Structure 1
Amino acid sequence: MLRLSPRCRAALVAPAALLLVGCSQGLPGLPGRQSTQTPISDAPPTPPLQQGNTLIVDAVAKVGPAVVRIDTVKRLVNPLGGLFGRGPTIQQQQGQGSGFITRSDGVLLTNAHVVEGASEVTVTLPDGRSFTGKVLGSDPLTDVAVVKVVASKLPVAPLGDSAKVRPGEWAIAIGNPLGLDNTVTAGIISAIQRTNAVGEGQRVPYIQTDAAVNPGNSGGPLINDRGQVIGINTAIRQAPGAGLSFAIPINVARQIAAQILEKGSASHPYIGVRLQALTPQLAREINASTDECRLPEANGVVVVEVMPGSPAAEGGLKPCDLIDQVGGKAVKNPSEVQLAVDQGRVGQPLAVSLRRGDGRLTLQLKPAELPRQG
């Protein structure tokens, strides 16, 4: 027969809510409140983090306050608006991205596609302050844009040197993916100089990382373990089980932003040629099918077409020329030629070394300003 303590006998006649109090005392197999707590782990205490182990924390602390959320509103004309109740004449489309402040007087960088066509731009800092932004200029070719807010003494993100970035280094992304403000993800630099990351003929040698980047991260900074911005997150490529992300090197963004601040737009030189990557197999096929070209059976970049009246035509470049250097830099594919030309200056001589038939020569071309679309 189970014997209850006087305390528990009293509780049986109390209201039901009181039955939860203290009746475990003396019951078989149930320890009373007086017993000490049984430890669930006997692992030794973990020592506090040393300074060298907080590098990501420290890096984020340097840049995080300068990373902003950018909200945009685009007003689009609905051609069927007002007819038969098919919606308003003007429709509003909302968008969101990231950016980072580079000057304490309110200059910040982001992606061109984040603010493209925006009628309204709102910039919100991590501390809650919000400002109306003005797009000073954008460059669709490199996907860089400059936005200005009226403010002073804002936190700024230190800029690094993307030319010193090497595969295997830490890569830390900060932004607002999927609307989740001030999200930090980390990985490593997977590759540099990715010229075919988002299609051929790119003017950007992208930095590739495995840091998690999602919609909303666009325009946010990619930083190193020293808290310096080394790139602007701009594109992702999804794959089963994983994703790859790409960033515009900060050296490229810095150059484009400086031009936008000086004259409202970016300058891109061009020479006016159509190029093809050459392989030994392709060279054999061309040599066998036509007498117009006699190409060496090697890897390289062959000129397929020269635009009439272009800098290339005026400088003496011809179809079937095999380009191996531009501006003193060796080139192995059309994208590298494009990047080398983009490093030149409009109207200034640019050396192009090539093989023509059995001979070699160097031409001096003067790139012209690439016509702006739209």
Structure 2
Amino acid sequence: MTKAILSPVRVLLLTLLGVISVGLQAADLPDFTELVEDHSPAVVNISTVSRSKSTLHRGLRPDELEQIPEFFRHFFGAPYGPGQQPRQSQSMGSGFIVSEDGLVLTNNHVIDGADEIIVRLNDRRELPAKLIGADARSDLAVLKIEAEDLPVVKIGKSKDLKVGEWVFAIGSPFGFDYTVTAGIVSAIGRTLPSENYVPFIQTDVAINPGNSGGPLFNLDGEVVGINSQIYTRSGGFMGVSFAIPVDVAMEVVDQLQQKGYVARGWLGVLIQEVSKDLAESFDLRKPHGALVAQVVPNSPAEDAGLMQGDIITKYEGQTIKRSSDLPHLVGRSVVGKKAKLEVIRAGKRKTLVVEIGELPTEKGSVMPAKTPKAASNRFNIEVAELDEGARQQLQVSAGLVVTRVDQGAARVAGIRPNDVISSINNQEVKTLEDFNSIVKSLPTGRAIPVLIIRQGNPSFVVIKLEN
């Protein structure tokens, strides 16, 4: 009799315990409601128009468009039949406001090639945007809209992120504005095949076409990343997405605002991973470091004494566990900085000091002839004569290639490494002797025209030398 009475009581207690347990588990999960309400006003939708004969959609690649159900395709600009060409193409993406006077950050691929950029705010205002600067290597772009007292995001520190930490994204996947998705940080410091200079944040936050350029927030409501890429075999989200760390992004923003392009540190080595077998062959206890496979001639690495077969194990005191760690650190270094390298050479540890150069541009990079450089001059640049192969590559008959630009008049004028100086003050420059003679005789205090060739395109810049 007692057993029959206690059985329902026991069932009730177990049920109550189960309810309490579920409640406690739910209490451990983050609540995003207030975070979204507070920070979504600073998130924007970005649409672009490109007037061309191409059917290419800048924000959504053709392979992404193929994965969109037919119902949605007209939303992005319906595909055209054979022989038909659109007058203009449209794309969509996301972004966020970083200053009250209208500075907006997004991905470069969202606005690349756009003739018109429109930013739609949370209050449904649509404002034209001006492109301040863009950097294809990091896939970042800075826009400016004319408005005041705008809501802005809080910028966090991506270096403080930890694997397993909760994060959430706000963006416009498939054009659905202010969509919120959440997940965790899956990994940090990821290197992707398409980009060696961005240590990506990997998450499992659902990111889809249209999310590009939108912010990734932490639970303090701070932006810690910019959603940029996904790994997919279907064209849609598969649980692996990548964001640009906000620390890297803000460094890019500062440079784009100050000088219109991004100068990255350059060492001048080709490196490879140290495998288990390679580690054994180099008498290492375990695989680590970056193995130098080649030293680029006339590079900072060569000047510092780096040699083929060296294994770089530390850069400025930071341990290089994998070869992919090195480009991140060097790329973010200030050009001209003297950095300490710890290397293993023939089983012995050595410390070298290298003066970081500027990473050559992706296109039009040339290898100068191994000739003496004009190391000290009023332009404060180094130049070298071109060999026949370099002249053919650049389609120039004469000129000197710029191998280094230090602080001074030339840098202010916008001269960069790999530019070819063709004439100075309307005098043709063919040799180092020409360069030294012309520069030495230039007047001070007035504008001097300098003809440069950059990526095959000639243009004049103006240099003004001070006393």
Q: How does the TM-score come out when normalised to structure 1? A: 0.77
1:55 CA drift (Å): 3.6
The secondary structure found in structure 1 opposite 2:219 is: coil
Which residue of the other structure, out of 252, 262, 267, is the alignment partner of 1:266? Answer: 262
Q: Give the gaps of 5 or more residues in structure 1.
A: 1-43, 79-84, 288-293
DSSP-derived class of the 1:184 partner:
strand
For 2:123, give the aligned amino acid: D
- Shift in Å at residue 51 of structure 1? 11
Aligned length: 310
Higher RCO structure, 1 or 2 (CA under 8 Å, sep 6+): 1
Q: In 1, are the aligned partners of 2:138 and 2:195 still within 8 Å (CA)?
A: no
Matched, 1:60 2:36: yes
Corresponding residue for 2:89?
A: 93
The alpha carbon displacement at 1:336 in A equals 0.3
Structure-2 residue corresponding to 1:299: 287
Question: Structure 1, residues 144-186: CA drift from partner, whole Å, max 9, x if none?
Answer: 1111111111111111111111122211110000111110111
Shift of 1:340: 1.4
Paired residue secondary structure (1:138)? strand
Question: Is residue 73 from structure 1 mapped to residue 49 from structure 2 by the alignment?
Answer: yes
Partners of 2:46 and 2:255 lie apart in 1 by 22
In the alignment, what sits opposite 1:359? 348
| Superposition CA RMSD, Å | 2.5
Q: Hey, what's the Cα distance between the residues in 2 that align with 1:274 and 1:52? A: 47
The structure with more radius of gyration: 1
What is the CA distance between 1:242 and its match in structure 2? Answer: 3.5
* Residue 186 (structure 2) pairs with residue 190 (structure 1): yes
- CA offsets per residue over residues 281-333 of structure 1, 9 Å max, x none? 1355xx5xxxxxx5546413210001110111111111000110011110022
User: How big is each residue's C-alpha offset from its partner over 1:105-133, in whole Å with a ceiling of 9 and x where there is no partner?
Assistant: 00011011111111110000121001001
Any idea what SS the aligned residue of 1:142 has?
Answer: coil
**Counterpart position of 1:171:** 167
Q: Say whether residues 1:141 and 2:137 are aligned partners.
A: yes
SS at match of 2:155: coil
Q: Where do 1:207-222 residues align within 5 Å?
A: 207-222=201-216
Q: Aligned with 1:76: secondary structure?
A: coil
2:231 alignment partner in structure 1 = 237
Q: Cα deviations across residues 43-98 of structure 1 (Å, max 9, x unaligned)?
A: x9xx9xx99987411111121001111001123356xxxxxx9556x842211100
SS at structure 2 position matched to 1:211: coil
Name the % identity: 40
Distance 1:368 1:75, change over 3 A: farther
The aligned amino acid for 1:266 is V
Equivalent position SS for 1:65: helix
Counterparts in 2 of 1:52 and 1:131: CA distance versus 1, 3 Å: farther
Note closer, same or farther for the CA distance 1:122–1:250 as it changes in structure 2 (3 Å cut).
Answer: same
Please give the alpha-carbon distance, in whole angstroms, between the structure 2 residues aligned to 1:321 and 1:91: 55
Of 247, 251, 254, the match for 1:251: 247
Letter in 2 for 1:299: P
Q: Distance in 2 between matches of 1:270 and 1:76?
A: 37
Query: How far apart, in 2, do the equivalents of 1:297 and 1:347 lie?
Result: 34
Q: Does the residue aligned with 1:163 lie in a helix, a strand or coil? A: helix
Q: Which amino acid is the alignment partner of residue 47 of structure 2?
A: D
Residue of structure 1 in register with 2:303 after alignment: 314
Contact 1:68 1:126 in 2 (8 A): yes
**Distance change (3 Å), C-alpha of 1:269 and 1:69:** same
User: How far apart in 1 are the matches of 2:349 and 2:27?
Assistant: 57
The corresponding residue for 2:222 is 228
1:362 partner letter: T
> How far is the alpha carbon of 1:102 from its aligned partner?
0.6
Aligned to 2:199: 205
Q: Which amino acid aligns with 1:354?
A: V
CA distance in 2, matches of 1:249, 1:337: 17
Task: Give, in whole Å, the separation in 1 of the partners of 2:90 and 2:355.
Answer: 43
Q: 3-state DSSP class of the match of 2:211?
A: coil
Report the AA paired with residue 137 of structure 1.
G
Q: Distance in 1 between matches of 2:153 and 2:29?
A: 22
